[in-house]
Chains A and B, each alone.
Chain A
Amino acid sequence: AQSVTQPDIHITVSEGASLELRCNYSYGATPYLFWYVQSPGQGLQLLLKYFSGDTLVQGIKGFEAEFKRSQSSFNLRKPSVHWSDAAEYFCAVRDSGGGADGLTFGKGTHLIIQP
């Protein structure tokens, strides 16, 4: 069964500093990978996704992520965080078989921005 690990439950970053959120997955074949963001009291918004091709993917709000097959990782990065980036971030994986499978989520990383 596929699984996703986000090793950092909480991360605190100063405004303007760079950010990297870690995500490791366990899956037999090439998975489809996603990062979602959840602001307090809100639903989930897709930041970016990886299906195939270029392993560095660009997303919304200045985020990017790099797929590294050798490390089974899909880490999310942002060069300079803003106070509005404070939120819960979820990495997710799903079967690349093209069916109607749901997403398997990691447990999330809570991002705190210090002024």
Chain B
Amino acid sequence: DTAVSQTPKYLVTQMGNDKSIKCEQNLGHDTMYWYKQDSKKFLKIMFSYNNKELIINETVPNRFSPKSPDKAHLNLHINSLELGDSAVYFCASSQVGVNEQFFGPGTRLTVL
């Protein structure tokens, strides 16, 4: 009964490829997020989705695009992968008005 799940856990790919990371939450929350954790463990918000509407886009390159087929899912698509995209990507969810965010286990992306 995992609350926030991500697949895959590890993703190794070549520069220039396109890849997707999936995220699902079974908490009934209405807002989902993507964070990037770099090699120095610094976490930064990338996107949030509320009721299928993009709320935040924090200076993220347009090669990154979040896609939310329904309230329980927020997938991250990345086009033309670059070396600098190597990082751990975390999905999270929360209920608007209740500020606690629940995080998934992370996806470690390595671009070769």
Q: Do A and B bind each other?
A: yes
Is A88 an interface residue when CB atoms closer than 8 A count as contact? Answer: yes
Is A90 an interface residue when CB atoms closer than 8 A count as contact? Answer: yes
Q: Is the contact region of chain B dominated by helix, strand, or loop, or is it mixed?
A: strand
B45–A102 touching, CB < 8 Å = yes
Stretch of B11-19, B50-58, B68-76 contacting A (4+ beta carbons < 8 Å)? B50-58
Closest B residue by C-beta to A102? B45
Chain A contact residues, CB within 8 Å of chain B: 32, 34, 36, 38, 42-46, 49, 51, 88, 90, 94, 96, 98-105, 107-108
In the bound complex, residues from chain A placing their C-beta under 8 Å from that of B48 are 100-102
Number of chain B residues whose Cβ lies closer than 8 Å to a Cβ of chain A? 28
Interface string of B37-81 (1 = CB under 8 A from A): 000111111001010000110100000000000000000000000
Closest A residue by C-beta to B56? A102
How long is the Cα–Cα vector from A60 to B40 in the complex, in angstroms? 26
In the bound complex, residues from chain A placing their C-beta under 8 Å from that of B55 are 99-101
B44–A105 touching, CB < 8 Å = yes
In the complex, which of the residues A36, A44, A45 has the most CB atoms of chain B within 10 Å of its own CB atom? A44
Q: Which of B4, B92, B99, B105 contacts A42 (CB 8 A)?
A: B105
In the bound complex, residues from chain A placing their C-beta under 8 Å from that of B92 are 44
B96–A100 touching, CB < 8 Å = yes
Q: Which of A38, A51, A98, A103 contacts B101 (CB 8 A)?
A: A103
Q: Which of A32, A44, A51 contacts B103 (CB 8 A)?
A: A44
A100-B31 contact given A105-B44, A107-B42, CB 8 Å threshold: yes
